[in-house]
């Protein structure tokens, strides 16, 4: 069955390639010709701004869209910057810029970036690195499989 005429709507499965651009240049350029993402629209599994931009697009269409921070990775949240005790059992010396995981016991853990080391404590930032930034997406829709076709399978 040929789905070339179908537009992306909630419930449809969309296969796409995208590049995230910041004012300073690409952040996430696709690494190869088969570097694609497949997602079912309407499930909340992708950034709200990207999902909105995909709605109505058809296979073969390309679009550049600006997504505000609120519809991308959200605002930077000050409470996600905090100090933790510097562990005596650190496997390697820490440096600003290092990626670490901060454990909260039964509450799980968070990825964070070391910002500063001060004696026995470490200032970390657990915000997403792109939080608080408006992003530009270059989107290329490869395939759209309508919901009806997925149900029939």
C-alpha torsion angle, residues 46, 50, 53, 56 (rounded to 10): -20
What residues does each domain of the chain span?
13-74+130-152, 78-125
Q: Do domains 13-74+130-152 and 78-125 have the same CATH topology?
A: no
User: In this predicted model, what pLDDT tens digit does every residue of 119-148 receive, in sequence order?
Assistant: 889 999 999 999 999 999 999 999 999 977
User: In this predicted model, what pLDDT tens digit does every residue of 25-51 receive, in sequence order?
Assistant: 777 766 666 789 999 999 999 999 999
Please name the residue that has the structure tokens 């629209």: 41
pTM score over 0.85: no
Please name the residue that has the structure tokens 């992003």: 135
- Phi, psi at residue 149, to the nearest 5°? -70, -35
Specify the CATH number of the domain 78-125: 2.40.10.330
Is pLDDT of 149 > 80? no
If you count them, how many residues does the chain have? 153
> Minimal CA–CA distance to 19: which of 4, 32, 6?
32
Q: H helices then E strands: how many in the chain? A: 2, 9
Q: Could you tell me what percent of the chain has a pLDDT over 70?
A: 88
Using a 10 angstrom Cβ sphere, with 0-12 exposed, 13-18 middle and 19 or more buried, the burial of residue 68 is: exposed
Strands (E), the chain: 13-22, 25-28, 37-40, 62-67, 81-85, 99-103, 109-118, 121-125, 135-145
Please give the mean pLDDT across all residues of the chain.
87
Specify the CATH number of the domain 13-74+130-152: 3.10.50.40
């Amino acid at each position: 069955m040929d789905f070339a005429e179908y537009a992306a709507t909630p419930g449809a499965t969309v296969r796409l390639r995208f590049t995230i651009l910041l004012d300073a240049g690409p952040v996430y350029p696709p690494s190869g010709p088969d570097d694609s993402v497949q997602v079912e629209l309407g499930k909340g599994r992708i950034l709200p701004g990207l999902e909105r931009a995909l709605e109505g697009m058809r296979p073969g269409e390309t679009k550049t869209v600006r997504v505000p921070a609120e519809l991308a990775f959200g605002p930077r949240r000050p409470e996600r910057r905090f100090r933790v005790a510097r562990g005596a059992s650190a496997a390697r010396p820490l440096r600003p810029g290092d990626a670490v995981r901060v454990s909260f016991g039964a509450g799980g853990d968070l990825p964070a970036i070391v910002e500063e080391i001060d004696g026995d404590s470490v200032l970390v930032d657990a915000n997403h690195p792109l939080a608080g930034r408006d992003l530009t997406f270059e989107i290329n829709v490869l395939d759209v499989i309508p919901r009806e076709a997925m149900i029939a399978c």
